[in-house]
């Protein structure tokens, strides 16, 4: 229990929570890599995840493409369009997760907007996600104020529930985020959509401090982190660093290249090494 009386929810430990425990014991920070499933293809997504893991990625955010990704910048918007044109659906993302899980124990966090999950059927999605080896859900447009209608379904299935905390969040909302999160809390480093930026926001450190006062869960920072030096700076403040658009841009620029996996692996290694430094 924290000094504020807020406790972290008690679940059977998932791959996500076990990961952060291992890294914390070693004094390391988690590199969390986002990919849009199905970009450039569903088959290639499996090999790209393997490349990221070889490069040092500790956790994969597996993005479900959506036709109206309002929280994402142009790089991930284009990736969603390519993946949808390739026929990617939530059911096929589960199939990708299943194939990844046959070859790896890397934690998988499903990163989706709410609509695809509702269309699939919320309870069915939770059941099939667990069967495929998914460890948690992050539903970007699910308001934490409305989360109580959904989180019990996910938790009863054994899935972690991750929500976003932003610099503009009130203290009351941060407490609510802490209440509904398991696994870790995702800190949005700045206001706006996803995308690469030149520098970390000055809003980040105060946000980390505010979250530390209301939860003992690991904190991971995302939005705008694109370079090794930025990843290193974020790692000094938080328990994990999320990199998305920079990986997705590399995939876009290297589409059709036979050495895409090697390029992705090397970039992940550069980020992870910088975080260790």
Contact by Cβ (8 Å): 132, 97: yes
Residue 5 CB contacts under 8 Å (≥ 6 apart), including other chains: none
Q: Pick the closest to residue 225 from 48, 29, 42 (CA basis).
A: 29
Q: Pick the closest to residue 34 from 238, 226, 185, 248 (CA basis).
A: 248
Structure tokens belonging to residue 190: 């700045």
In degrees and rounded to multiples of 5, residue 219 shows phi and psi of: -115, 130
Residue 8's CB: how many other CB atoms inside 10 A? 18
Positions marked active-site? 61, 72
CA 207 and chain centroid, separation: 18
Residue 106's CB: how many other CB atoms inside 10 A? 20
In degrees and rounded to multiples of 5, residue 171 shows phi and psi of: -60, -40
Structure tokens belonging to residue 49: 């995840």
Contact by Cβ (8 Å): 265, 48: no
């Amino acid at each position: 229990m924290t000094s504020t009386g807020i406790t972290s929810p008690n679940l059977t430990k998932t791959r996500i929570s076990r990961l952060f425990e291992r890294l914390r014991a070693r004094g390391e920070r988690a590199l969390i890599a986002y990919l849009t499933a199905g970009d450039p293809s569903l088959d290639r997504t499996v090999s790209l995840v393997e490349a990221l893991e070889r490069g040092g990625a500790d956790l994969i955010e597996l993005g479900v493409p959506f036709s109206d990704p309002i929280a994402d910048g142009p790089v991930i918007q284009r990736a969603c369009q390519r993946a949808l044109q390739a026929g990617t659906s939530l059911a096929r993302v589960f199939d990708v997760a299943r194939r990844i899980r046959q070859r790896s124990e890397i934690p998988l966090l499903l990163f989706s907007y709410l609509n695809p999950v509702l269309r699939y059927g919320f309870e069915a999605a939770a059941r099939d996600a667990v069967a495929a080896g998914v460890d948690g859900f992050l539903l970007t447009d699910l308001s934490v104020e409305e989360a109580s209608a959904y989180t019990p379904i996910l938790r009863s299935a054994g899935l972690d529930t991750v929500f976003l905390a932003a610099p503009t969040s009130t203290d009351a909302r941060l407490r609510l985020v802490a209440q509904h999160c398991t696994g870790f809390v995702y800190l949005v480093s700045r206001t706006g959509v996803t995308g690469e930026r030149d520098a970390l926001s000055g809003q980040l450190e105060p946000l980390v401090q505010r979250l530390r006062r209301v939860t003992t869960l690991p904190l991971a920072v995302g939005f705008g982190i694109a370079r090794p030096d930025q990843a290193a700076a974020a790692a000094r403040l938080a328990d994990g660093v999320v990199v998305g658009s920079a990986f997705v841009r590399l995939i876009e620029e290297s589409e059709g290249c036979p050495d895409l996996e090697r390029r992705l692996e090397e970039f992940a290694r550069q980020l992870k090494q910088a975080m260790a430094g």
